[in-house]
Structure 1
Amino acid sequence: MTAVIDNAIYPCLIVDTLLALVLGDKDALNGENGVAWSVFVMRAVFAVLFMLPTLRSIKVVGHTLLVLGVMIFLPFAVLIVYAMPLIEPANWFVIRQDRDWGRLLSALYWNYSGFDAAGAYAGEIQSPKTTYPKAMVLTVVMIAFTYIIPFIAIAGADMPHYTTWDDGSYSVIAQMIGGTWLCIWVLISSVFGNLGLYVAEMAKDGFQLAGMADSGLAPPYFAQRHPDTGVPRRAILLAFFIIVFMGMFDFDTILGIDNFLSALSSLVEMSAAVRMRFSHPEIERPYRVNLSDKSLVMAMMLPFTLGIFIVMNELTKSWTSFLLNVIALTLGYLIQKYIERHPYHKYAEIIGAPLHLTDLSEDL
């Protein structure tokens, strides 16, 4: 559920970027009662267009993301070059008076969470033990650089003033620094960047739900794969409908629900890891964290404290966020109780021809 709601953010970001550029205000069409129907329709259209590559095959997804990665990087590299002569180092040390630490931590948590999602593709790769460590190290380094370097450049230039920045402002910043041509290039890059994130996460959501159905944690209806490509289209379509529903809410609300559920699930995972160290020390752990029991508890204190803050901050930020989070938790609890009373069979039959897998690391 967390990953699906997270995916609803990307169509929202694209529409906000277009509205901020064309109308000068991303909320220009929205009223006091929330997201306008015209904005909702635009988000739904992007959600449909972005979903189409995920219905093909996981190999298409991998090739698409590689090409998109190169396309996304180039305009921001040019933006950095154009911003460098305009940089005033004093701008880096300006601290605004109306600081919102909760919103900052919320945005940072969202931007740097989700690395575990790559595990959903392990069954689609022949040698994940050698491919994944290399890919994860490269990904962490690239993400850090793609966030930090452009931000340092535009923050030093401060055009327009940083108090006007919001989600979708990169195109406006590019227009002020480099002109219309750079603005259009960054806008196209933003669209493809959100497309890449959406496609990767949508594919992951589908395979994750199908895997849960295989293990009896979800209805076997969602275990069915396409006979030719092996893609779990039923699972992907369910995720798509949830994304369209979330398109009725603004960016901050979607982000709040996503962070609340994500942080809550992380707290449960960390608690389980620590508890099982003491309650089941004899269980073989192929991927055991190389820390003693006491060291593990100490290492978990900081992320656990941050997780509690994120949960409480997102739960209480607005009544809309509070109600939607409570509804999501209630539905999850009721579904869990139903599964306990009426369990699915342990393993669902995977319908379709055997899928001949190839190592994406060799193709890419």
Structure 2
Amino acid sequence: MFPENGGYVVWVSSALGPFWGFQQGWWKWLSGVIDNGLYPVLFLDYLKSDGLPRIIAVLLLTVALTYLNYRGLTIVGWAAILLGVFSLLPFLVMGLISIPKLEPSRWFVMDLNNVEWGLYLNTLFWNLNYWDSISTLAGEVENPGTTLPKSLYYALVFVILGYLFPLLIGTGSIPLDRDLWSDGYFSEIAKILGGVWLMTWIQGASAVSNMGMFLAEMSSDSFQLLGMADRGMLPECFGKRSRYGTPLLGILFSASGVILLSWLSFQEIVAAENYLYCFGMIVEFIAFIKLRIKYPSASRPYRIPLSTTGVILLCIPPTLLIVVVLALASLKVMAISVIAILVGLVLQPCLIYSKKKHWFRFQTSSDLPDVGSNYRGVDEP
């Protein structure tokens, strides 16, 4: 990554030009906003909220978490850590309670004829993506070339444990019934194993973990817009910071998108954000390989220890998975996503035209490296 805000937008701009850099930013920002609309849905699924109380809760949650983002990354970071710790504790307790009831043979039960592959792959892809989002905040991190790789390593360990441990508990400690496994089912498992008190704790912890994800995702989305504004891709107003150093307009735009999308179902949100995210990842892979070829000997604080041929081979498996996810999308999701892509294709020329007509003020920060020619002292995307 480049040691500045914008992340993948800057990678793609450097490799493929500003037009595709803008499209990358549009796809990833919209995908992130759609993804963030999922967390209030999951939050309220765990609390069994519906109807008017659900609508009011979405609005209040969005406003409260948006305010935390406005107050700065330090608050967001500590809040996310505390929420993460709180959300993991009841699963550790549930794991201890479940030990006498575990039957390891249940972990190996399979019924491949009774799998909704589209939903499965979309959910799996959603659970394991967005690792590149941290790049949009690189300009806010001290010594990102060293700090971010370490953070990603530790995050990978926690993610694996955070998914694997509850699944081993849930599938190994109670009789298997696939029809019961839906949003919020871990709270039902907790009730079976420990009673109402553990169910309530799991419900609260699971809901709280979604709040932490919301905070992190909104920060990434808003700083991405700030990075695009710093490069003259968006009007200057998107680059204005609040007194807390946060991109106010980017936060408001991201929050508005969340409210508009929170009425959709879990499956619809996951499929829609995955579709746009997939396009963005393909372009990132292309930019990654092209920058390797274009600047093979450039100084990089972090370099993937493979040759150019090696990194091409490295990108093939995830690309194949992306193609499968795209192919399994419903016609409704495809139509919505294609419309969103077309909007981006039209929006970028419109912004250039508005710049020429001086309808909006655009300004490129003088502190940034030259995207077209300067590729020194950066990490690899």
The number of aligned residues is 331
Query: Which residue is 2:378 aligned to?
Result: none
* TM-score, L = length of structure 1: 0.84
Map 1:44-55 onto structure 2 (within 5 A). 44-55=59-70
Map 1:92-171 onto structure 2 (within 5 A). 92-96=107-111, 97-158=113-174, 161-171=177-187
**Alpha-carbon distance, 1:183 to partner:** 0.6
Query: Which residue is 1:336 aligned to?
Result: 348
Task: Return 5+ residue gaps in structure 2 as ranges.
Answer: 1-29, 356-360, 368-381
Which of the numbers 192, 210, 215 marks the counterpart of 1:176? 192
Deviations 1:103-159 (A, max 9, x none): 222111111111111122222222323322221111110110111011111101135
**Alpha-carbon distance, 1:39 to partner:** 3.9
**Alpha-carbon distance, 1:237 to partner:** 0.7
Query: Which residue is 2:39 aligned to?
Result: 10
2:242 maps to 1:230: no
Query: 1:91 is paired with a residue of what secondary structure?
Result: helix
Query: 1:126 is paired with a residue of what secondary structure?
Result: coil
**Alpha-carbon distance, 1:341 to partner:** 3.8
2:229 maps to 1:213: yes
Q: Does structure 1 conserve the Cα–Cα contact (< 8 Å) formed by 2:229 and 2:362? A: no
Which of the numbers 195, 210, 225 marks the counterpart of 2:211? 195
How far apart, in 1, do the equivalents of 2:304 and 2:315 lie?
12
The letter of the residue matching 1:347 is T
Q: Does structure 2 conserve the Cα–Cα contact (< 8 Å) formed by 1:224 and 1:234? A: yes
How far apart, in 2, do the equivalents of 1:208 and 1:44 lie?
24
Query: 1:61 is paired with a residue of what secondary structure?
Result: helix
**Alpha-carbon distance, 1:335 to partner:** 0.8
Task: Return 5+ residue gaps in structure 1 as ranges.
Answer: 23-28, 30-35, 351-364
Q: Does structure 1 conserve the Cα–Cα contact (< 8 Å) formed by 2:236 and 2:363? A: no
How far apart, in 1, do the equivalents of 2:325 and 2:57 lie?
30
**Alpha-carbon distance, 1:89 to partner:** 2.2
How far apart, in 1, do the equivalents of 2:338 and 2:36 lie?
20
Query: Which residue is 2:261 aligned to?
Result: 246
The letter of the residue matching 2:298 is E
Map 1:208-357 onto structure 2 (within 5 A). 208-226=224-242, 228-278=243-293, 280-281=294-295, 284=298, 286=300, 287-314=302-329, 317-319=330-332, 321-343=333-355, 345-347=362-364
Deviations 1:148-203 (A, max 9, x none): 01111110113573321112222122112111000111111112111111111111
> Identity of aligned pairs, percent?
29
Per mean C-alpha deviation after superposition, the further-off stretch among 118-127 and 211-220 is 118-127
How far apart, in 2, do the equivalents of 1:253 and 1:193 lie?
21
The letter of the residue matching 1:86 is K
Higher relative contact order (CA 8 A, sep 6+): 2
**How has the CA–CA distance of structure 1 residues 285 and 338 changed in structure 2, closer, same or farther, with 3 Å as cutoff?**
farther
Q: Does structure 1 conserve the Cα–Cα contact (< 8 Å) formed by 2:34 and 2:261? A: yes
How far apart, in 2, do the equivalents of 1:293 and 1:129 lie?
21
**Alpha-carbon distance, 1:313 to partner:** 1.8
Q: Does structure 1 conserve the Cα–Cα contact (< 8 Å) formed by 2:235 and 2:363? A: no
How far apart, in 2, do the equivalents of 1:248 and 1:102 lie?
21
Query: 2:328 is paired with a residue of what secondary structure?
Result: helix
**How has the CA–CA distance of structure 1 residues 148 and 201 changed in structure 2, closer, same or farther, with 3 Å as cutoff?**
same
Q: Does structure 2 conserve the Cα–Cα contact (< 8 Å) formed by 1:9 and 1:251? A: yes
Q: Kindly report the root-mean-square deviation, in angstroms, between the aligned alpha carbons of the 2 structures.
A: 2.2
Query: 1:291 is paired with a residue of what secondary structure?
Result: coil
The letter of the residue matching 1:290 is P
Q: Does structure 2 conserve the Cα–Cα contact (< 8 Å) formed by 1:79 and 1:178? A: yes
**How has the CA–CA distance of structure 1 residues 243 and 149 changed in structure 2, closer, same or farther, with 3 Å as cutoff?**
same
Q: Does structure 1 conserve the Cα–Cα contact (< 8 Å) formed by 2:43 and 2:208? A: no
**How has the CA–CA distance of structure 1 residues 337 and 158 changed in structure 2, closer, same or farther, with 3 Å as cutoff?**
farther
**Alpha-carbon distance, 1:270 to partner:** 0.8
Which of the numbers 65, 74, 77 marks the counterpart of 1:59? 74
Q: Does structure 1 conserve the Cα–Cα contact (< 8 Å) formed by 2:119 and 2:267? A: no
The letter of the residue matching 1:124 is E
How far apart, in 2, do the equivalents of 1:207 and 1:288 lie?
24
Q: Does structure 2 conserve the Cα–Cα contact (< 8 Å) formed by 1:159 and 1:173? A: no
Map 1:54-93 onto structure 2 (within 5 A). 54-93=69-108
